[in-house]
Copies of this chain bind each other. A is one copy, B any other.
Amino acid sequence: MDSTVPSDPVPNVVDLAARLRAELGEESVPQVPQARYGGDRAVPGASDIFFVLVLPHDVAGVQTTLRLAHETATPVVPRGAGSGLSGGATATDGAIVLGLERLSTIREIDPLDEVAVVEAGVITADLSAALAPHGFFYAPDPASVGISTIGGNIATNAGGLHCAKYGVTRESVLGLEVVLADGTLLRTGHRSIKGVTGLDLTQLLIGSEGTLAVVVGATVRIRPLPVARRTVLARFDSAAQAAAGVGAISRSPVQPAATELLDAGTLADIDAHAGSHIAAGDGAMLLVELDGYGVEEQTRDLIGALTAAGGDVRAIESETEAERLWELRRSSRAAGGGRARLGEDVAVPTSRLAELLTELEAIGRRHGVRTSAVAHAGDGNLHPSFSLLGVPEDPSGQLPPAILAAADDLVRTALDLGGTISGEHGIGTSKRGWLDLELSPASRALQHRVKEAFDPQHLLNPGKAL
């Protein structure tokens, strides 16, 4: 990669690969791993990084891999589907990349206990699909739900669209099965809804981005499918005014299942990408999902609150139209692709969302960068996008300085507004440079001591998250 890489690890890891092949079988340790296993959607795998890919079929295979890594002091980069957005699965030279994708069994669905037991590599949407015939669903739904895995979602404490009502991944995980740095299998948590025995290692592991242990399975909470759903669409003159609409929802007794804000730039990108017609000049949109009992009354109260906040509001009566709108919303990341672009992820207290959106536009003007935004507005979680219209995407993931400078301004603004540098994507490698802006030296030192309690050799996902 560069001249600072030591020359030793590579021969060592070739030996290690041979040992892993002997223990796990040839096809679990490909001779020539695809470069894509070296990265994620934010930091693509580099072709000049040498790593050993291990794709175990079972938990024992993960234990063997970690045991051998431990014996040989080899770094391990765990990965789910590689759908991450912060470089949390970036391979380093001489490392083992430990892919969990083959641990994809839904071991158990228990509607009476309202839990499911899954392996880490289960695709998140596949779990909800398997639950539907039982009348249940799995609440966490990052926009990547169709490609990301439960294990990856746990590693990043993934959020999504339904968090304001149903919580992030953390709130749906009761227990974990993890492999520690030395290969020991550890079960944490409980199958009951409640449980307070000992330190809550489950909660500590969630969101630790593979730096403490490797998640191989989870006992998750499932919820009964709501009896009804209703989508409400509200148009506002500006993104800031749409954010004021979110405040009106906060003051009302309605708690939507999802409250998504799409600004004019995002709406235009979606229309250009999908051939739809949802943009309306400079206007922004709130797309709200209500669910559960009393949706009629919820709809009435929501329309009242949003109309009073200056919105042009209508309930979507057609289920087809509602589904189409949500599909367009979920397509917003793909829309606007092809050009040099950076998608960001910050969160602020919801009352500051309007200021953040106003400042985003000012930042774009200041740096000559096009900005657009979509937000899980009910959580104050903003995904701004920075792009340069005439500049094509660089396949290596390199970004023009103007985009990086604009993103830096935005992240600092979020912090100034009482927010955080990452709402739901994690820190990975992409956001480590901002850590000191949010965390005190005391906090970082303590986190490193906790890391050492789990991984004294610093082998697990080195250079990430902390």
Binding site for B on A (CB under 8 A): 110-115, 135, 156-157, 159, 163-164, 167-168, 170-171, 180, 184, 186-188, 190-201, 203-204, 206-208, 211-212, 223-227, 247, 250-255, 292-295, 297-298, 301, 347-351, 376, 378-381, 418-427, 431, 435, 438-440, 442-444, 446-447, 449-454, 465-466
Candidates B187, B247, B419; contact of A440 at CB < 8 Å: B187
Q: How far, in whole Å, are A247 and B114 apart by their CA atoms in the complex?
A: 10
Candidates B159, B187, B199, B378; contact of A451 at CB < 8 Å: B199
Chain B residue contacts of A444, Cβ below 8 A: 198
Contact between chains at A422 and B199 (CB < 8 Å): no
Contact between chains at B201 and A203 (CB < 8 Å): no
Given A167-B171, A250-B112, A418-B191; A423-B380 close (CB under 8 Å): no
Contact between chains at B156 and A351 (CB < 8 Å): no
Q: How many copies does the complex hold?
A: 2
Please report whether the interface of chain A is mostly helix, strand, loop or mixed according to DSSP.
Answer: loop
Chain B residue contacts of A443, Cβ below 8 A: 186-188, 198, 201
Given A203-B204, A454-B446; A192-B253 close (CB under 8 Å): no
Contact between chains at A197 and B349 (CB < 8 Å): no
The 10 closest A-B pairs by CB, nearest first: A294-B294, A293-B294, A203-B203, A449-B453, A112-B351, A192-B347, A195-B420, A113-B349, A193-B379, A194-B423
Contact between chains at B252 and A224 (CB < 8 Å): yes
Contact between chains at B112 and A348 (CB < 8 Å): no
Candidates B110, B203, B450; contact of A453 at CB < 8 Å: B450
Contact between chains at B420 and A201 (CB < 8 Å): no
Chain B residue contacts of A201, Cβ below 8 A: 443, 446-447, 450
Candidates B157, B180, B196, B381; contact of A193 at CB < 8 Å: B381
Contact between chains at B112 and A251 (CB < 8 Å): yes
Chain B residue contacts of A115, Cβ below 8 A: 349
Contact between chains at A350 and B193 (CB < 8 Å): yes
Candidates B168, B193, B376; contact of A347 at CB < 8 Å: B193
A378 nearest CB neighbor, chain B only: B193
Contact between chains at A196 and B349 (CB < 8 Å): no
